[in-house]
Amino acid sequence: MNRIEERLALLKQAGKTAFIPFLMAGDPDFASSEEIVFLLDRSGADIIEYGVPFSDPVGDGPVIQQAAQRALRGGASMKEVLESVRRIRTRSSVPLMLFSYLNPILAYGIEAFARDAAEAGVDGVLCVDLPPDEAAEYKRLLDAAGICTIFLAAPTTTEVRLKLIGEQSSGFVYYISRLGVTGERAILEKDLERAVTRVKKLTGKPVCVGFGISTPEQAAAVASMADGVVIGSALVRLIHEQSARPGGIDAIKVWADNMSRAIHEKH
């Protein structure tokens, strides 16, 4: 069984929700990213969402855009991201998914990507700008490699489309808690619980919620209604602020412990 599916199944049995932190691979450099992945694993992260930097990330807000730019300036590429995953796998078996735009995958070659990603130890891929109705070849190749294909659903997604997303997704469906790009927001969308219930029902898959969740309070609230909570920009910002400071890694650990506790205990 795939590590993502296995972890979500275990959590479901225990009545718990997955803590899914996002970080940009290679920001500020790969050694730091890998160190932070190990730290997140120790803090109880259930799935690591590892961002593949892209020059034109139209789904991302400024925090993640700038992180991608920093990683690219450092020379990051898909090849290096996969090498990084390979290094992570020598020390950790934490479930790990890539968050990527389609073009770096296309440039790598979908077939070669599926093969090399599986071999490196990637468990899932969320390709942000690949619509589920154009994904036949991609899904076939990733399925064959044993990698989960995770697709996005939004508050405006219709019933018909949610069913399609459910069919094309494995592992879980990633629900965008509110319209827009990635980034921290002060308040959660109203009616989130009803929306998540609808997505669960129509897709028939576990539903993890992301976009705009930044505080432990928000995370705990979302944890009570979803199968997983994704936290991206808040962590990416923290990594940027702390990584150059002496002892910065400890601040990231404190953050991760707090977030993990809030999500797992749901308060």
- Cβ atoms of 206 and 7 within 8 Å: the answer is no
* Binding track over 88-127 against another protein, x by CB under 8 A: --------------xxxxxxx-------------------
Scan for tokens 């990584």, then name that residue. 243
What distance in Å separates the CA atoms of residue 66 and residue 181, rounded to the nearest whole number? 14
49 catalytic? Reply is yes
Residues touching another protein, count (CB under 8 A) = 24
257 part of the active site:
no
Q: Which is nearest to 256 in space by CA: 236, 240, 237, 235?
A: 235
Per CB under 8 A, contacts with another protein among 52-71 are 54-56, 58-59, 61, 65
CB of 107 to another protein, least distance (A): 3
Q: Which of 62, 136, 137, 138 is nearest to 100 (CA)?
A: 138
> CB of 91: closest distance to another protein in angstroms?
26
- Strand blocks (E) in 9-120: 18-24, 48-51, 96-100
Query: What is the distance between the alpha carbons of residues 97 and 144, in angstroms, rounded to a whole number?
Result: 16
Q: Which of 27, 46, 60, 116 is catalytic?
A: 60
Binding mask 133-162 for another protein (x = CB under 8 A): -----------------------x------
**SS3 category, 177:** coil
Site map (CB under 8 A) of another protein, residues 165-204, x = contact:
--------------xxx-----------------------
Between CA 120 and CA 104 the distance in angstroms is 17
Catalytic pick among 34, 49, 116, 123: 49
Give the catalytic positions in this structure. 49, 60
**Footprint of another protein (CB under 8 A):** 54-56, 58-59, 61, 65, 72, 77-79, 102-108, 129, 131, 156, 179-181
